[in-house]
Every structure is written in C-alpha cells, then in structure tokens.
Structure 1
C-alpha cells in the first residue's frame, strides 16, 4: 500500500523533474563538463523574485531561514543599539532561542500570545512604540498555519521607525505573496519545504530602499563586484593588496561564500513548476481538503487550533501525548503527518487528494469522552 504523505510542511517530497535536474548536475561534476552556475543562479533568483513579489536585486542566497533572520538582526546592529523587539509565540519556535538570548544581552523582548489561534494585529499596534527597533514574526505560523496581516503590522512598525522581519518559509509557494506590497523590510526562507528544494539553501530578502542604511554584518568574497590583486606575479602595482568594491545589491551586503549548486539545480526546476502551476490555484485547490479536516476532526474529538478560515497548508490539533497515541495507527494505515509530543499537524500539498484526507480521517482513532474538551 503506497504511503499517503500529508507532511510537506516538514520536508516536501522532491519532484521527479527536480531529481533529474540534480542528477544532471552531478553528472557534470563527475565528468568535468561545464555546469552553467551563473546562468542557473540568475534564473533561480529571478523566479523566486516573481514568486514573492520582489526584485532580484533584493535577494541574497543564505543557508537557512534562521541564517537570514540572524543576518537581519546583525545588520540592524542589535543588540548593540538596545531598545525593544516585538514578536509573538506563533513565530518559529527555533527563534525563541534568538530572542531570549537577545533579552539576556539587554534588549526588551515583548512576546504576544495568541487567542483562538490568532494574533490580533491590534496587539502589535499597541506593543510597538518609539523604542521598538524590530518586529519579528512568521507570516504563516509553523505551529498552526495562522497568517498575519503583514501590511498592517508593517504600517504600524514604520510609523514608529521600527523595521519588520518576516519568516516566509510557510508562505512562499503556498499563498499569493507580494513583499513589495506589504512593505516588509526583511524576509527569509529555506527551500526544503514548499519550494521543493533541499536543506542548505534559501533566500534573504531586503527591501532595496533599506540597503544603504544597514550595517554590514559579515564579510564574504561573494559580496564583491570588483577584485584586482597587487601581490601576485604580473599583477599591476597598487597601494594595497588589492582593489576591491562591493556589489550594490543584497548580495553585496549579505553574501558569504560558496552555496549548494545541487540545490540550485533543484530550484531551477521547482520554481519554474510553481510559477506554471500558480500559487493562487494551488491555494484554491486545497481549500476543500482543509474544509473536510475542519469538519471531520472535531467530530472525532480532536481540538483544531488552526483558525477555520485559514487558507494556508497547515492544520494543527492539540492532543496530549499525540506522538505515542497516534503513531501506531497511522503507521498501520500508511499515512504520514507531523507528529509532535502534544500536537499533530496535517500539511497537504498540491499532489494530495480528498481520498488522502479521508484515509487520514479513517486512520485517526475516535478520542474517548474524557479527552473531548
């Protein structure tokens, strides 16, 4: 019996076309044939820019979402400048570590907490003040799929001179997105989830009008637009070891060194496929699947903590001991979802069908009365 994969929010399966693209890249590495790295990188950046409503000049390649978030923090000279950071507990739980450590280094950290699975944008408007340096959030929550009103939050932050960072790992490729229209200052994502890439390569977006106001957080030779040395045989003479100048785009501020060409080959295929499929069509196609889950799971006693009007591809239920209680039944049924200690998450992608959802519903045991609250 084939496995039903409803866990693309953890790591999306690699499409066969993307696998073939990687194999072609590896063949070039094995045979010494030229692989057009510059051309592929240009296409990947252009396609991702189209996908999220950005300019290629505003994009830098990074290792991961967290790497992008940290670079944004460093570029704002935090915690050195002091002040307040406003965030919320629907943000990526890995970022809890970042902001608790910044609190230990003198930053005031304000944690907003959800009500009914949501963060009211008015809570951000009340929390942001003249001392706020950064507002940090996940546009789509990895916990329950809640989607922020990013434009409204950016308006509130900018009115006080604060900058906004958005983790878009569960938004890019899943919901229509126009970063320019939101006004967000920074955004980052890895590629191994909904972009159908792999671990080790992602994107950092920096609003172009902000570039010349930022502190350079790191120094890497991929930042350079010009390099001419004066130290090797036959070099022209010069006053120093080399003449160097940085690029005037996001790469010129944030790029470091080499990046994964294998993942770049994947993204060259997957981003083209996403643009052809259309994110809005993908989002519309999953709505009947989400509606069925919202209907069936409470009927079997499960507490859904995802807002019922959510359009994102993550639906979460809270359940004490979820992994231990559900894993055997799901394994027997050949269904894969995200199982955590006290919750489970269903993440349908464009290849899933209503039959996949029904198989999951049938596999989930009805909860005893004492578990229904």
Structure 2
C-alpha cells in the first residue's frame, strides 16, 4: 500500500480509464509500415487474415487487467473501457453505440440475427453465396433441411455478379446473407448496391465484416446495410472471444427477442429478499425489470471477455489514428506485387486483380503438402489449406516480406 493510500493497482485502473494519447501510446509513424507497434517476430508473418498479431500496447493493456485480477487490489475501469471500445467501433463503421452489442464471435452474431428473424419457424427465402464464410455453410444447409428456401449463388470469374444477386431476390425473399469481404479470396461486394436491390424487393441484408472492419472503409449509413457482425482477433487486433453485432436502429423493434438475461436490463428490482419492496405488477411478481433500449437490450446474453475489451481499447483507437484509408492505400503495391509475382511462378490466383482487400489466394492441389516444408524452413507463415493458400499482409509488412515469400515458393 502506498503512503497516500493509492496502490499500484489503483494507478493501473486509473491509467486504463484514460484515452489512448494519455496512456503513452507509441507515436503514429509518418509513413507506413508500422513495425514499432508490434513485438519482433521470429520470421516473416503474412497470415494476419487468420490471426493478427497483438500490438504491444494491447498486450500491455491485457497485462494490466490480469495484474488486477491476480491480486483483486483496486478496481479495473471495465465499464469506461467498454463504453470507449463500443464508441470506437461505432466510429469505425459510422454507426452509433446504441446500434452495437458485444457478441462472442461473428458466427454468434449471424446466428443471433437468424434467430431474431424467426428462422426456421418462420420460413421465407434466403439468398447467400459460396464466397460467404465457409463456417456458415452448415447454418444455411441446416435451415434448408428444416424447410427454409436457401438459394446459393456461385462465383463467376471469382466474383459474385450483381446481376445474379438481383435475379435471385424474388418475392418472398427475406434475407440476403454475405461476407462483405470473402475469407476465401478477398472478393468485396458492392454493399450499397446489394442493399439497394434487396430493399427495393423487401429483403434485408446481413454482412459478415470480419475481413472488412479495419481493412477497408465501412460506412453502414451510406450502404444502408441492416445487420453486420465481426470478431476482433483478425484485423481489429484484439483476441478470441469478443466481437460486435450491428443492427440498424430503425429495425430494433422488428426483431424477435430470443434471449432474456440480466445484462439486457437497465433496471432490476427484486421482491424476494429481506427488506425488498413488495411486487406491484402481477406479471412480474419476482422482480420488476426495465429493458435497455439499445442493442444490448436485445442481444446481451451475459458476461464477456474483459481482457479482450482492454486490448481493443488500445487497438481500435490505434486503427482509427492510423486511418483505414491510409492502411488500404499502403498495401496496394504489396498486393500488386503478389499478383504479378505469383502468376510469374505459375500459380493460379483466384483473387480479383482489382481487389483492394488484404487477401490474395491461389488454388493449388495439395498446397499444404507441397508448401509446408519450404515455408517452415524459411520461417515464412501464410495460410495453407488442402488445395489453396492465402497471403494476407498487414501494416507491419514490407515489400521485402513479399519478395522473401516469392523467393521461397517453388514454381507451381
């Protein structure tokens, strides 16, 4: 205990309550790459689309939280941090904090929307595509098995054609579900055009934005998208176990409330404990409740990852300070070099050449078996799948990293 009664943990909590600039964050570089924000890596890391390295500042924020939890000395400013995190994510996509709820993951957010729309009990047509997240294939196949009409659009020239989307949205279509940026090949939908077509025909639009948030500019107001979800362990530079669900404010009253938990409440007055006031409402004899009017009132289920909130308190503000436009522009020469270099080595690139997103994918039969050994020997990490591989550079990567990868890859 300090002489003035303030402990080190109290100081940590006070520091956590401060904005990024006041917490001594690393200076924003005048030009990218931004290597100083990250710990030294043992090799060349080009796999941020699978799991992004945690910035040093986010690591330190998590350590401060764990320090407090280890001793229970002082108080960690969880509420202030969560408010700031939600506000910063809202800024990132041009939403309001009231339109955002914390969720466990992108998949949890997508499932919450499916439930809130009443599927599969209430049927109707869903239009999706095979460039959507492959983890959602099971969800829509299962909905189809239970009687929902699910239409799958397949890519042409590695893109989902807007004409195909327009033809697929017929009367009775209730939802269009897509990944704004495809995890498979980085294809980016024209979300504003998709929403305009869907809304004109009475359908709503859900967008998985896990490979878009923090990589390309997102404006939910301009696109008029209805729902969006993402986790934080990729391009938001957080960790597993915490993400975000966005629902346009004017839709909140149209959604079915499918869960009921304490974290959805703004007010709670029990009538069962000693000295409690007696119940005054026949339909709430055990406790009077007041629901929150925001997204948490619809979708909050319980506690969530406070350590990840602490990390995002640093990383989201860092992303906003660096600027998504700036990061997008920085990586374009890296992506162009990947396209030309991979093609010159005989690889089949399935990412559209005009793509601005940080994912470049090649199809290659037996990719994992053929490439794992030389890449490991050279300490170069990318995404290796059975019959494809994917490179995903971030703000800390340089052209030297791209050349090192190209030098290591054998000819196709």
Q: Deviations over 1:283-339 (max 9, x none)?
A: 000000000011110110000000000000000000000000011111111100000
1:80 aligned to which of 116, 121, 129: 121
> Is 1:142 the counterpart of 2:183 in the alignment?
yes
**Structure 1 stretches (4+) deviating beyond 2 angstroms?**
none
> Is 1:4 the counterpart of 2:44 in the alignment?
yes
Which aligned pairs between 1:1-373 and structure 2 lie closer than 5 A? 2-32=42-72, 33-239=74-280, 240-367=285-412
Query: 2 CA distance for matches of 1:185 and 1:274?
Result: 24
Query: 1 CA distance for matches of 2:294 and 2:133?
Result: 28
Q: Deviations over 1:236-262 (max 9, x none)?
A: 111411110111111110001000000
TM-score normalised according to structure 2 size: 0.88
Query: 2 CA distance for matches of 1:84 and 1:213?
Result: 18
Q: Report how far residue 358 of structure 1 moved.
A: 0.3
Secondary structure (helix, strand or coil) at the match of 2:246 reads strand
The residue that corresponds to 2:11 in the other structure is: none
Unaligned runs of 5+ in 1: 368-373
TM-score normalised according to structure 1 size: 0.97
Query: 2 CA distance for matches of 1:122 and 1:15?
Result: 41
Secondary structure (helix, strand or coil) at the match of 2:411 reads coil
Q: Deviations over 1:176-222 (max 9, x none)?
A: 11011111111000000000111100000000000011100211111
Q: Report how far residue 160 of structure 1 moved.
A: 1.7
CA RMSD of aligned residues (A): 0.8
Q: Deviations over 1:48-91 (max 9, x none)?
A: 00011111000000000000000000111111221110000000
Q: Report how far residue 2 of structure 1 moved.
A: 3.2
Query: 1 CA distance for matches of 2:116 and 2:62?
Result: 34
Unaligned runs of 5+ in 2: 1-40
Q: Which moved more, 1:99-108 or 1:26-35?
A: 26-35
Secondary structure (helix, strand or coil) at the match of 2:311 reads helix
Between Structure 1 and Structure 2, how many residues are aligned?
367
Secondary structure (helix, strand or coil) at the match of 1:291 reads helix
The residue that corresponds to 1:371 in the other structure is: none
Secondary structure (helix, strand or coil) at the match of 2:181 reads coil
Secondary structure (helix, strand or coil) at the match of 2:351 reads coil
Secondary structure (helix, strand or coil) at the match of 2:289 reads strand
Q: Report how far residue 155 of structure 1 moved.
A: 1.0
Secondary structure (helix, strand or coil) at the match of 1:309 reads coil
Secondary structure (helix, strand or coil) at the match of 2:253 reads helix
